[in-house]
């Protein structure tokens, strides 16, 4: 029984860590409409890199998840 629970916990952990999400970076430029860049199906590491790029450019963007 312990082995079954352990295997179930491993699969549960893998399911939570491998999920992908959609994100949006919105750049607000005065005098023009907002520029929106969509990022679809990003893993956590890729999302962190994209967030850094979004929030640290010449025009700072706002990062959000969908």
pLDDT of residue 29: 84
- Per-residue DSSP letters for 3-66? HHHHHHHHHHHHHHHS--EEEEEEE--TTSPPEEEEEEEE-HHHHHHHHHHHHTSSS-EEEEE-
Look at residue 7 and tell me whether its pLDDT is greater than 80: no
- The model's confidence at residue 42, banded by pLDDT at 50, 70 and 90, is very high
Q: How much of the chain exceeds pLDDT 90, in percent?
A: 50
pLDDT in tens, 12-35: 665 665 578 999 999 988 888 999
Look at residue 50 and tell me whether its pLDDT is greater than 90: yes
């Amino acid at each position: 029984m312990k082995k079954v629970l352990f295997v179930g916990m491993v699969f549960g952990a893998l399911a939570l860590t491998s999920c992908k999400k959609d994100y949006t970076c919105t750049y607000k430029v005065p005098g023009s409409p907002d520029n929106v860049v969509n990022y679809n199906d990003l893993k956590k590491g890729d999302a962190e890199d994209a967030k850094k790029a979004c929030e640290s450019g010449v025009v700072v963007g706002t990062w959000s998840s969908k």
